[in-house]
Amino acid sequence: MRDILPTLSEWYAARVPFGLATVVSVSRSAPRDPGAAMAVGPGDEVLGSVSGGCVEGAVFELAKEVVDSGEARLETFGYSDEDAFAVGLTCGGEITLLVRPVTAETDPAFAAVAESVATGRPVTVATVTDGPARIGASLAVWPDEVSGTLGPTGLEVAVTADARGELALGATGLRHYGPRGERREDTVTVFLHSFAPPPRMLVFGAIDYAAAVARIGSFLGYRVTVCDARPVFATPKRFPGAVEVIVDWPHRYLRGTDTDERTVICVLTHDPKFDVPLLEEALRRPAAYIGAMGSRRTHDDRMKRLVEAGLTEPELARLRSPVGLDLGARTPEEVAVSVAAEIVALRWGGSGTSLTATGGAIHPST
Q: Are residues 230 and 332 in the same domain?
A: yes
Residues 11 and 85 in one domain: yes
Q: Same domain for 328 and 225? A: yes
Q: What is the largest CA-CA distance in the chain?
A: 75
In tens, the pLDDT along 327-351 reads 999 999 999 999 999 999 999 889 8
Domain count, the chain: 3
Cα(173)–Cα(183) distance, integer angstroms: 16
25 with 95, same domain?
yes
Mode of pairing for the β-strands spanning 46-48 and 37-40: antiparallel
Q: What is the pLDDT of residue 270?
A: 81
> Is 356 part of any domain?
no
What distance lies between CA 144 and its chain's CA centroid?
16
Percent of the chain, pLDDT > 70? 93
Do 95 and 61 lie in one domain? The reply is: yes
Facing residues of 45 across strands? none
Domain limit, last residue, from 164, 197, 230: 197
- pLDDT above 90 coverage of the chain, percent: 72
Bigger pLDDT: 86 vs 358: 358
Q: In whole angstroms, give the CA distance from residue 234 to residue 117.
A: 36
pLDDT of residue 364: 63
Q: Are residues 190 and 253 in the same domain?
A: no
In a domain, 365, yes or no: no
Provide the pLDDT for residue 13: 95
pLDDT of residue 103: 92
C-alpha pair distances (Å), 68 with each of 7, 17, 356: 21, 9, 54
DSSP 46: E
Please tell me the predicted confidence (pLDDT) of residue 171.
Answer: 85
Count CB neighbours of 345 within 10 A: 14
Average pLDDT, the chain: 90
Q: Mean pLDDT across the stretch 30-55?
A: 86
Same domain? 51 vs 122:
no
Provide the 10 A C-beta neighbour count for residue 98. 26
Same domain, yes or no, for 33 and 93?
Answer: yes
275 in the same domain as 340: yes
Which structural domain, as residue segments, surrounds residue 320? 200-348
Based on the fold, state whether residues 56 and 141 are members of the same structural domain.
Answer: no
* Among the ranges given (47-56, 166-175, 218-227, 356-365), the one the predictor scored with the smallest mean pLDDT: 356-365
- Reported as a single tens digit per residue, the pLDDT across 106-137 is 899 999 999 999 888 999 999 999 998 889 99
Same domain, 320 and 227: yes
Could you tell me if 131 and 7 lie in one domain? no
The reported pLDDT for the residue numbered 84 is 38
Instruction: Please answer whether residues 39 and 19 qualify as being in contact, where contact means their C-beta atoms are separated by less than 8 angstroms.
Output: yes
- Domain for residue 55, yes or no? yes
What are the strands, taking DSSP E only, across the chain? Answer: 18-27, 37-40, 46-48, 73-78, 94-102, 123-130, 138-141, 146-148, 173-177, 188-195, 200-204, 223-228, 244-247, 264-267, 289-292, 319-320
